[in-house]
Amino acid sequence: MEKRQFDIRKLGVETKGKIMADLDIGSLVTHAVRKGEGELSRRGTLVIKTREDHPKYGHGRHTGRSPQDRFFVDHEEIHDNIDWQIVDSKSKQAINQPIKPEVALRLCKQVTKYLSAQPELYLQHRLVCADRMYGFPLYFLTESPAYALFANNLFRDLPVTTKDIPNKPISVLFAPGFKLEDPQKYGVHSDGFAIIDCLNQMIFAGGLRYCGEAKKAVFGLLNYLLPFMDVFPMHCGANKGEDGAVALFFGLSGTGKTSLSADPHRKLIGDDEHGWSPYGVFNFEGGCYAKLIRLDRVKERDIWSAVRKFGALAENVVVNEEGGLDLQDASITENTRAAYPCKYIDNVSFTGVGEHPKVIFFLTADASGVLPPISRLTAEQAMYHFLSGYTSKLAGTEVGIKEPVPTFSPCFGLPFMPLKLLTYAELLGKRLRDHGTRVYLVNTGWTEGPFGKGHRINIVHSREMIAAAIRGELEHAQTERHEDLGLEMITSCSGIPDPIMLRPWKTWGNVAEYRDRSRELAIHFANNFKQNFPNAPAEIANAGPRLQGSPDR
């Protein structure tokens, strides 16, 4: 069956304007510049500004995700599937906020009315999930060519023949120019919102400019749908070597997931979102969404090159007087971003699929400077740390975050997990048992002290440790048990010039301060797990940090 243009009237959009379907990158860039949505750098990157200084909703709005503005439609048929009890540890607000179907319908009609009135609409026919057995056609409709370019760059090409894609399509209405006049009337918190309708496989968003809102709404929907298909959805990067051996990189924004998975010596499968099925792993998207602030041309050369190719989309990056991208300038936001197709990376897997992973890395940007650079985890410890999801939120990844904030984000992606969290942990455990995959906890955060005193671990050293683990060198490497945290620290690794850094307390000027911080972090782990997973199996609960004793100094 040949691909046909999606009938937008099925979404309630009745327009007399032009519908621009599947414009290529050059045309989308041209339309965006013509409409004044952005400017071209001298290399051809389209640079847009998403920031809005709103008198009511705050300075710097739309430069990061707005979790308080996302809702799931609370259909009776699926009510019991969604975990409505999960709360953000900082705001104490529900992660999966419900909205009544009738209210969601009224909001949807507001968005469709707005889109229907636009003189031009942009429609992108895309695909999510590289394994077509689990794939979903994606219809992305917006009034903005810049956001259509984002969809073109981030999601996969929809093949002309879709007969081998058995699943119902996902529809996305993204209206960044829409403004809701009376938010309280609809029970939402601001003039912008993103609504995820899992039952009807539809997303509609109005008044939100940050491109990550669209990306993560699709991810949240897939995280609902795929477990029912025996697929473990993962917030991770993935790559594979010449021998086909796959490595996965779990971690929240700012932990190095994109940078470390983009290895010039390995083929990139994808940088952020994947599924692990009974047959192997596959990428959800066809592009990358990389953080740019202070990107290093030498250490992260693949990303550096990709964001300068024609048609890459950069958000909130300052363009200097010569027309170049100034990646050191954070005057708009720390959360500068770029969206580009995976093909802009030199060494990429165009299929987006791979074998069952040989090794998994849990990346955490520990701002306390306590966690060892790399530790080998047992299966039970892997389950524990997956459910804990410890890291530090970094500046700019969410509205209002100005400096690192310690946080626990179960599954390394709590804001995007609508089902009961143990559902995802059980899928991880099943895959680990079936395939004997080795798991490592890697600290990409601070060393020689906490944030403000120490410094960020050199990404070159992180790459050396990861490469050694992928080669299998660390499976039987010498380890030392960290008695506070219960971790088997790797204490020697090729490529690390000074093994002292692998024992973190030896890098601190004040060992007593390290011990205090270490015990404090262990208590945080224990309290978090006890509070959120009181019914977890004992073998998992007992795999966490232990408070007795101290590291052998």
3-state SS class at 378: coil
pLDDT in tens, 316-332: 999 999 999 999 999 99
The answer to whether the CB of 408 falls within 8 A of the CB of 388 is yes
CB within 8 Å of 4: residues ≥ 6 apart: none
Among the listed residues 231, 324, 318, 333, the one whose alpha carbon sits nearest the alpha carbon of residue 273 = 231
Higher-pLDDT residue of 161 and 411 is: 411
The answer to whether the CB of 20 falls within 8 A of the CB of 121 is yes
The Cα–Cα gap between 195 and 32 comes to 26
- At 550, is the pLDDT very low, low, confident or very high (cuts 50, 70, 90)? very low
Query: Residue 243 burial by CB count (10 A; 0-12/13-18/19+): exposed, middle or buried?
Result: exposed
- At 373, is the pLDDT very low, low, confident or very high (cuts 50, 70, 90)? very high
The Cα–Cα gap between 475 and 439 comes to 10
Length, in residues, of the chain: 553
Sequence-ordered alpha helix ranges (H) in 242-349: 257-261, 301-306
Residue 170 predicted with pLDDT over 90: yes
Residue 361 predicted with pLDDT over 80: yes
Give the CA count within 13 Å in the CB-facing half-sphere of 201: 15
The answer to whether the CB of 519 falls within 8 A of the CB of 551 is no
The Cα–Cα gap between 420 and 228 comes to 12
The answer to whether the CB of 211 falls within 8 A of the CB of 243 is no
The Cα–Cα gap between 123 and 125 comes to 7
3-state SS class at 266: coil
What integer pLDDT is reported at residue 61 of this predicted model? Answer: 86
The Cα–Cα gap between 98 and 109 comes to 18
Among the listed residues 363, 377, 113, the one whose alpha carbon sits nearest the alpha carbon of residue 260 = 363
What integer pLDDT is reported at residue 326 of this predicted model? Answer: 97
What integer pLDDT is reported at residue 401 of this predicted model? Answer: 59
Distance of CA 423 to the CA centre of its chain: 19
Residue 193 predicted with pLDDT over 90: yes
What is the share, in percent, of the chain residues with pLDDT greater than 90? 82
Among the listed residues 15, 25, 45, the one whose alpha carbon sits nearest the alpha carbon of residue 305 = 45
Residue 44 predicted with pLDDT over 90: yes
What integer pLDDT is reported at residue 551 of this predicted model? Answer: 42
The Cα–Cα gap between 448 and 64 comes to 30
What integer pLDDT is reported at residue 552 of this predicted model? Answer: 41
In the chain, what are the domain boundaries?
A: 16-53+66-553
3-state SS class at 373: coil
- At 435, is the pLDDT very low, low, confident or very high (cuts 50, 70, 90)? very high
Among the listed residues 505, 481, 479, the one whose alpha carbon sits nearest the alpha carbon of residue 490 = 479
Tell me the angle at which helices 212-225 and 145-154 cross, rounded to the nearest 10 degrees: 40
37, 43, 45, 48: CA torsion to nearest 10: -40
Concatenating the DSSP letter of every residue in 175-244 gives ETT---S-HHHHT-SSS-EEEEETTTTEEEEES---THHHHHHHHHHHHHHGGGGT-EEEEEEEEE-TT-
Average pLDDT over all residues of the chain: 92
Q: For the whole model, what pTM was predicted?
A: 0.91
Query: Residue 310 burial by CB count (10 A; 0-12/13-18/19+): exposed, middle or buried?
Result: middle
- The pair phi, psi for residue 517, each rounded to 5°, is -65, -40
The Cα–Cα gap between 224 and 218 comes to 10
The Cα–Cα gap between 327 and 324 comes to 9
Mean pLDDT of the region 357-378: 96
Hey, CA dihedral for 127, 129, 130, 132, is it positive or negative?
A: negative
Mean pLDDT of the region 217-231: 98
Read off the DSSP letter of residue 317.
P
b/e per residue 153-170 (b: at least 16 CB within 10 A): bbbbebeeebeebebebb
Q: CA-based angle 202:79:170, to the nearest 5?
A: 15
pLDDT in tens, 67-121: 999 999 999 999 999 999 988 766 788 999 999 999 999 999 999 999 999 999 9
Read off the DSSP letter of residue 458.
P
CB within 8 Å of 438: residues ≥ 6 apart: 358, 359, 360, 376, 469, 475
What integer pLDDT is reported at residue 176 of this predicted model? Answer: 97
The Cα–Cα gap between 138 and 165 comes to 12
Residue 1 predicted with pLDDT over 60: no
pLDDT in tens, 530-539: 999 998 999 9
What is the share, in percent, of the chain residues with pLDDT greater than 70? 95
How far, CA to CA in Å, does 484 sit from each of 132, 380, 505, 529? Answer: 46, 17, 12, 15
Catalytic residues: 65, 216, 235, 253, 257-258, 272, 337
pLDDT in tens, 481-498: 998 999 999 999 999 989
Residue 396 predicted with pLDDT over 70: no
Q: Does domain 16-53+66-553 have CATH number 3.90.228.20?
A: yes
Rg, Å, the chain Cα set: 23
Mean pLDDT of the region 221-229: 98
What integer pLDDT is reported at residue 548 of this predicted model? Answer: 54
Residue 457 predicted with pLDDT over 80: yes
The answer to whether the CB of 214 falls within 8 A of the CB of 220 is no
What integer pLDDT is reported at residue 263 of this predicted model? Answer: 85
